[in-house]
Chains A and B, each alone.
Chain A
Amino acid sequence: MDVLLGLLVNILEEGLIYGIMALGVYVTYKILDFPDLSVDGTFPLGACVTAALITIGMNPWIACLCAFAAGAAAGCVTGFLNVKLKISDLLSGILVMTGLYSVNLFITGGKATVQFYNKPTIFSSGLGGILPEPLRPYKVILIALLVAAVGKLLLDLYLRTKSGLLLRSAGDNPQYVVSLGRNPGRMKIIGLAIGNGFTALSGCILSQQAETANIASGTGMVVMALASVIIGTSLFRRVKWIRSTLAVIFGSILYKTCLVAAMQLHLPTNALKLVMAVIFAIALVANNMASGRRKKQNVNPTQI
């Protein structure tokens, strides 16, 4: 029983933390239709920035904001490469991801991992410190939930503003944005900044939970985030009261559940990334099959 509870706590903790990244990738992949690979670089960027700032004694919540800003800046670079320099979307992401590896090393002072044990983090100080005793074992879940919820609500709110509506049009029909007298490229850059900001924030929270920043923690993040987004949005599409932003967080928790379940089958730890890729492939195929069926059901009346 305790083992199961431990697993559940682990699933929720990591599911919620990675769910913040899923929110960001939802913006780039689903809204802008931009397969953003720079996520593999911005996730550890968030972690490294946080480690560097907390080591010099900065308030951990402010470190979160700084991580978001650093990620957003990296997203702007991806957008700049794609929009202004006309480099393809995949290549722009790869360039930024590769470049960020050095940037991250520069931030950590050349070390592959930075530990900041016993420094105040969002889990140990402030809000995390004043939690009543019985809730202590769940402090990571509660605080990750708080960050994910605030992030989700702010994103929902933004997507209903004028700028947010324009962002949604930019992904859906860039020509419409042009007709409105606006530059769709600028909206793309804004979207990439938001997406990578959330990703870096996710890396920041994860590093505070582990009290370690690992320069290699970004590998596989694109796959994990995309899988969460696709699982979430396709499973909960029909449920009216679940918005896509909530669905992708659920998607992240579900993905983590699949991953933990697979690892419970006593697969070697080294197989983790392979399992991640396989689950993603299954999600993609299932999603394609489901949308194929839907297309057949709704025949376009103009094509009869």
Chain B
Amino acid sequence: MSTQLKSESCQNGSLISIQNVSKTFNPGSVNEVVLFQNFNLDVPKGQFVSVVGSNGSGKTTLLNLLCGSVPADSGAIFIKGQEISALKEFQRARFIGRVFQDPSKGTCPELSILENMALAENKGKPFGLSMGVNRRRTDFYRSQLEMLHLGLEDKINLPVGSLSGGQRQALALLISTMTPIDLLILDEHTAALDPKSSETVMELTDTFIREKQLTAVMVTHNLKFAIRYGNRLLMMHRGECVIDAADEQKASMDTDDLLNKFNEISLEVGN
């Protein structure tokens, strides 16, 4: 079993294609929230998309729809031309890597760094009764950890639970990209870190995405990161993209443009 989807004949060559997706929370109750109505989005292979937007704009729901943690009401989601709506979250995880906001979610705190990496490397293969950690792979794991420049290669037998948030998040990033994946999902993955650690983790993210030529969707509240990294920027509001800028257009934007748009939206909704 491979960890990547076989490429089917795509209609338009996009890696992600979200077509006419609608999502309503608490339908039929006073708390009804219509978030997406016939939402469409195409992401070509190799694009690094940053998504910004206020709370409740649908950023995280977009990621949850992609990963399968939340089912869509209607519409279709294609990855590499394959409809994935019928796949459960854990089945989609075989070709989608995800790093969460909470650093403790991307690793198993009780297991050692070595054991975590051994599990991650086995993703997509059966988890049977052979020994979990292959000691001969230790050098490979060390070389991978060296790429993080956090000195983790010397703490390989330490339980992950004893690492700091930044170290754990860097490890989670490494772990989620260890096997070849089609799509990397970054869910506000620097939000819970201190400024220094979040810079480090963001730099690492960018390096990994470039080196492994990954397609990535990153949700962030950090406008600076959204401007500086990635080659496409989306601003979401009430389940719609109010800004969609790619390549040169994105390169010409700065944080003020984003802030102005935010203010404009706030005025519209009467805040």
Contact = CB atoms under 8 A, between A and B. Distances in A.
Interface in B102-118: 104-111, 115, 118
B132 A164 contact: yes
Given A166-B119, A302-B164, A179 B132 contact: no
Interface residues of B, number: 36
Interface of B: 3, 88-91, 93-94, 97-98, 100, 104-111, 115, 118-120, 122-124, 126-133, 164-165, 176
A267 B129 CA distance: 49
10 contacts: A161-B130, A162-B131, A163-B128, A163-B129, A168-B111, A169-B108, A173-B105, A179-B97, A180-B120, A180-B123
A134 interface: no
A50 to B, nearest CB: 27
Contacts, number: 84
Contacts of B106: 176, 179
Given A163-B128, A172-B109, A180-B127, 8 more contacts: A161-B128, A161-B130, A165-B132, A173-B105, A176-B107, A178-B93, A179-B176, A180-B119
B130 A178 contact: no
Interface of A: 158, 160-166, 168-169, 172-173, 175-184, 301-302
B82 to A, nearest CB: 16
Judged by DSSP, the binding face of B is: loop
Contacts of B122: 162, 180
A181 B119 contact: no
B104 A173 contact: yes
Contacts of B108: 168-169, 172-173, 176
Contact of A182 (B98, B127, B164): B127
A245 B146 CA distance: 34
A164 B108 CA distance: 13
Given A176-B105, A181-B90, A181-B94, A161 B132 contact: yes
Given A180-B119, A184-B90, A163 B105 contact: no
Given A169-B119, A175-B105, A162 B127 contact: yes
A162 B128 CA distance: 6
